[in-house]
Structure 1
Amino acid sequence: MKKLLLLIVLFITATLQAQEISYGVKAGLNLSYLRIKDNVLVDSKMKSGFHIGGVGEMKVSKLFAIETQLLYSQQNSVLEIKLSAFRQSDSRGSEPVFEEDLEIDYQLGYLNLPILAKIYIIDGFNVFLGPQFCFLVSDKENYDFKNFDYGFMGGLGYQLNSGLFFSANYYYGSSDISNQKIGIKQEVIQISVGYML
């Protein structure tokens, strides 16, 4: 973990020393989802949140750039445990043990650091892809989640000559965020608006 953080700091430092660099801010909507591995009794519902933070872009050429972001991201979700599926047998036949399902509302806050390769296609349109590192900074209900997550982000953007930009991206978590190793991974859709200074 310490080596990874050192590499990230060195990368950001090198980016900031580049000559053709621009800074900006962005904010927007999150639609988050927890992906559960091979569990028919647990389902996840998408829930909304928000993200806000800064953007730094190093222009390598007219068509290619490297972009870093540092965002606070509220990644919420609802897990539905299908308790009504549990049944017991007695003289009257099979009846559910529980009458209702259980819903658990997760409200997680992350500090996200994506490092993106960005290609400008035409007239301000761009595509981007790269790894994202996520550090858990708040867990409202103190559920047993790991402090670190990583995965990949990809998306589309459009930037006006004025500096105003819009983007939509998708994050696919690669690691199990549960300390109980039950196979919970994150997926997040982000819709953003921002401004490059």
Structure 2
Amino acid sequence: MDRNKLAFVLISFFAIAATQAQVNFKPGLRVGLSLSTISEMHADYRTDFYIGGFGELNLTKHYALQPEINFTRQGSNNVARNFTNPDTQVEKMEYQDLQLDYLSLSLINKFTFGQGFQIQFGPALDFIVHDNLALRKTSRDVSFVTGLAYRMPSGLAFEFRFKKGFLDVLDSDYYTNNYNNDYFFGDYNTNVNFQIGVSYSFDAK
């Protein structure tokens, strides 16, 4: 078989396969509670919210690829900073709520089992849209997302996700506290985020 005939057969095969495949696209929204902190410190979780939109591309009965755009309010509360007052040269400690709000682009793999149970995972690229840090190392983050969900026939789903950043986002030399071990900082401070919420897919079948 020459190249032209082989190419024709391959193109015909994939064209027929594409017309037979049950591929559909469903837009949706997601919203919920965000619980976050920054690693290698002893501080309180920041409780806030996330909201976003997605497009669910169902490639098979049990697998979907889901691009997402999410806004997530992250950070950490009651973080101690040890510093010297430049006017009095007196060493002081202050407690701050660190805010890191991100716009995230995610690509989530969704595997569905049984009557609607899902395993979800994929990478995310995060961009800071607001923060109150005096010094930070980067305006971006690279994260990995994993989680579980239960989706009902109506298109409503209940989700639980864990999102872990990989980039050092905090200048620990600025925020470090050398004499209070309850608030000791490490040198590699990454985002840690839990998400508990709901999503809804429009036109769900």
Whichever residue aligns with residue 22 of structure 1, its letter is K
Partner of 1:21: 25
Partner of 1:47: 46
CA distance in 2, matches of 1:163, 1:82: 46
Partner of 1:119: 111
Q: Using the TM superposition, give the Cα deviation of residue 157 of structure 1 relative to its aligned residue in structure 2, in angstroms.
A: 0.7
Partner of 1:39: none
Whichever residue aligns with residue 104 of structure 1, its letter is Q
1:60 aligns with 2:52: no
Partner of 1:190: 195
Partner of 1:153: 145
Tell whether the 8 Å contact from 1:134 to 1:148 is kept in structure 2 after alignment. Answer: yes
Partner of 1:173: 165
Compared CA separation, residues 174 and 118, structure 1 to 2 (3 A): same
1:34 aligns with 2:26: no
Larger radius of gyration: 2
CA deviations on 1:96-144 (whole Å, 9 max, x unpaired) are: x97x853221122100112111100110110011111111001145542
CA deviations on 1:13-59 (whole Å, 9 max, x unpaired) are: xxxxx9511100111000001002xxxxx522211010011011111
Q: Using the TM superposition, give the Cα deviation of residue 185 of structure 1 relative to its aligned residue in structure 2, in angstroms.
A: 0.2
Gaps of 5+ in 1: 1-17, 37-41, 84-96
CA distance in 1, matches of 2:33, 2:200: 16
RMSD: 2.3
Partner of 2:70: 71
Work out the number of aligned pairs and report it: 161
TM-score normalised per structure 1: 0.74
SS in 2 for 1:45: coil
TM-score normalised per structure 2: 0.71
CA distance in 1, matches of 2:172, 2:80: 16
Compared CA separation, residues 116 and 122, structure 1 to 2 (3 A): same
Partner of 1:4: none
Tell whether the 8 Å contact from 2:79 to 2:98 is kept in structure 1 after alignment. Answer: no
Using the aligned pairs only, state the percent identity.
Answer: 28
Q: Using the TM superposition, give the Cα deviation of residue 149 of structure 1 relative to its aligned residue in structure 2, in angstroms.
A: 0.2
Compared CA separation, residues 19 and 120, structure 1 to 2 (3 A): closer
Residue among 99, 123, 131 paired with 1:131 = 123
Whichever residue aligns with residue 146 of structure 2, its letter is G
SS in 2 for 1:175: coil
Q: Using the TM superposition, give the Cα deviation of residue 76 of structure 1 relative to its aligned residue in structure 2, in angstroms.
A: 2.8
Compared CA separation, residues 79 and 34, structure 1 to 2 (3 A): farther
Q: Using the TM superposition, give the Cα deviation of residue 145 of structure 1 relative to its aligned residue in structure 2, in angstroms.
A: 4.5
Partner of 2:154: 162
